[in-house]
């Protein structure tokens, strides 16, 4: 992250400390000086908790469409859950124990995030237009109401709502406003709020991933020949390339599916080195991130521009590499993977034998 407010830096430090103290292995991109669609990739050292991809931002309503799109893309490729930790929205600071939905992603403040990490099943409110709402245990509400000798109309009168609304609480699974949920507890002596299993809720909220190619990185005069070459090579295999703006890799290769209920099928991710004007930190980020994603069983490599780089340059780093000439004539991205796995073994062997 190249620039951020002191408040955001404080939140980032707190998130890193929290995850580190909760037995997560952390990859963070804060030291590379690059604005990405996330700041932290966290993988729990046990298999019981999901991987998390965390974006920290001041105002959750300032998230740009391409950031949202690429956060979804990276999270899907890494099979991680995307989470946004924010400080405020356009109206006010984010409330404690509340979740905010933005373009299919879930945001919370630091306090709520910290509670979720340590205890993911909590009585959390969902922020919607008109206020905050809780899931209600309708069956329990009905039992408690009858125990108090109240009709639905009696309870409705006390809540200043219609008896039809009480009926919908009890039988239709309608959410209750925060005020009504608190008032019900006051009237009946017990809470009827259903604790929310956050990770399940987040998984269910993620829609089928479909790409909007208008959001991908545009071809420039400097990159057009190299990008065109990669696009043509991949197109010959019947697949497509998506060029990213804010991911720690530059492209991924995927196959579109006709089924509206199915995700795109991704095959491979890649960084690129097409010229030497890129900052050393940007190049290092790609070289550091690709080995990291191999932990997540994702295939990736640096694709070098052969007009500028030779193989000896690529071999210097313990990262799989490819040149466009190696990809020509391949019929399917699975064949890319065979080359990559062979190259990975070679690069690992070179690293182990280096004194």
Q: Binning pLDDT at 50, 70 and 90, where does residue 9 land?
A: very high
Q: pLDDT value at position 263? A: 65
Q: Binning pLDDT at 50, 70 and 90, where does residue 329 land?
A: confident
| pLDDT value at 194 more than 90 | yes
Tens of pLDDT, residue by residue over 210-261, are 788 899 988 888 788 889 989 998 888 888 899 999 998 899 888 877 766 6
Beta bridge partners of 54: 40, 83
d(CA 8, CA 337): 39
Residue ranges of E strands in the chain:
24-28, 40-44, 52-59, 81-88, 98-102, 105-108, 121-122, 125-128, 131-134, 176-177, 196-197, 240-243, 251-255, 265-273, 300-304, 321-322
In the numeric block, the tokens 């404080």 are attached to: 10
Class of domain 135-192: mainly alpha
Per-domain residue ranges of the chain: 6-124+198-205, 135-192, 213-353
Q: pLDDT value at position 1? A: 53
| pLDDT value at 284 more than 90 | no
CATH 3.40.1000 assigned to 6-124+198-205: no
Q: pLDDT value at position 291? A: 80
Q: pLDDT value at position 322? A: 85
Share of the chain above pLDDT 90, in %: 46
3-state secondary structure of 90: coil
Class of domain 213-353: alpha beta
Q: Is the dihedral of CA 224, 230, 231, 236 positive or negative?
A: positive
d(CA 347, CA 326): 17
Average confidence (pLDDT) over 127-149: 93
Are the C-beta atoms of residues 32 and 247 closer than 8 Å to each other?
no
- CATH topology match: 135-192 vs 213-353: no
Tens of pLDDT, residue by residue over 63-73, are 999 999 999 99
Give 259-288 as a DSSP string.
Answer: -TTS--EEEEEEEEE--S-S-HHHHHHHHH
Greater pLDDT, 33 or 8: 8
Q: pLDDT value at position 333? A: 74
Are the C-beta atoms of residues 331 and 311 closer than 8 Å to each other?
no
């Amino acid at each position: 992250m190249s620039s951020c407010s002191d408040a955001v830096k404080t939140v980032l430090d707190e998130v890193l400390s929290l995850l580190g103290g909760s037995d997560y292995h952390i990859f963070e991109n804060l030291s590379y000086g690059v604005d990405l669609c996330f700041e932290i990739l966290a993988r729990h050292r046990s298999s019981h908790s999901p991987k998390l991809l965390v974006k920290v931002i001041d105002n959750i309503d300032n998230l740009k469409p391409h950031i949202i799109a690429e956060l979804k893309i990276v999270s899907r490729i890494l099979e991680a859950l995307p989470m946004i930790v924010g400080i405020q929205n356009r109206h006010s600071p984010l409330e404690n124990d509340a979740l905010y939905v933005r373009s299919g992603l879930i945001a919370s403040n630091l306090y709520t995030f910290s509670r979720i990490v340590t205890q993911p099943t909590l009585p959390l409110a969902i922020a919607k237009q008109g206020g905050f709402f809780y899931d209600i245990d309708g069956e329990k509400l009905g039992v408690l109401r009858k125990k108090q000798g109240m009709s639905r109309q009696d309870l409705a009168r006390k809540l200043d709502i219609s008896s039809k609304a009480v009926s919908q609480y009890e039988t239709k699974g309608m959410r209750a406003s925060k005020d009504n949920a608190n008032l019900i507890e006051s009237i009946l002596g017990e809470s009827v709020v259903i604790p929310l299993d956050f990770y399940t809720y987040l998984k269910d909220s993620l829609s089928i991933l479909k790409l909007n190619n208008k959001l991908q990185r545009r071809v420039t005069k400097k990159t057009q020949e190299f990008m065109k070459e990669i696009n043509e090579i991949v197109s010959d295999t019947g697949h497509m390339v998506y060029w990213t703006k804010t991911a720690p890799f530059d492209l991924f290769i995927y196959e579109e599916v006709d089924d509206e209920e199915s995700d795109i099928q991704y095959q491979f991710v890649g960084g690129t080195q097409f010229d030497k004007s890129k900052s050393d930190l940007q190049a290092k980020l790609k070289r550091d991130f690709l080995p990291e994603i191999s932990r997540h069983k994702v295939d990736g490599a640096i694709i070098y521009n052969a007009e500028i780089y030779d193989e000896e340059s690529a071999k210097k780093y313990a990262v799989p590499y490819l040149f466009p000439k190696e990809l020509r004539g391949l019929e399917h991205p699975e064949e890319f993977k065979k080359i990559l796995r062979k190259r990975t073994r070679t690069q690992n062997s070179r690293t182990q034998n280096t004194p």
